[in-house]
Amino acid sequence: MKPSSSFDTNRLGWRPVEWARLLGVSPSAIYLQIAQGKLPVIKVGATKIVPRSVAVEAGLIDD
């Protein structure tokens, strides 16, 4: 799956809701993957961020 043309590939990470929108899945599916340890996140205060490296590994963006 390639990102939409409005997908900002220069970002260092995405909030789970943004990541869900990118993949076309529900935010609850993303939060479930986070809770199960299947989707790595970085915590910045109370905010969870899906790091850029995950998008690179998934083939969504080039490094």
Query: What's the pLDDT at 61?
Result: 84
The helix (H) or strand (E) run that includes residue 46 is: none
Query: What's the pLDDT at 11?
Result: 87
> b vs e for 5-31, b when ≥16 Cβ sit within 10 Å of the residue's Cβ?
eeeeeeeebbbbebbbbbeeeeeeebb
Query: What's the pLDDT at 42?
Result: 97
Alpha helices in 1-63 (DSSP H): 16-23, 27-35, 52-57
Rounded to two decimals, the pTM is 0.81
Q: pLDDT of the chain along its 63 residues, tens only?
A: 555 555 677 889 999 999 999 899 999 999 999 999 999 999 999 999 999 999 999 888 887
Pairwise CA distance, residues 9 & 7, whole Å: 6
List the chain domain ranges.
13-57
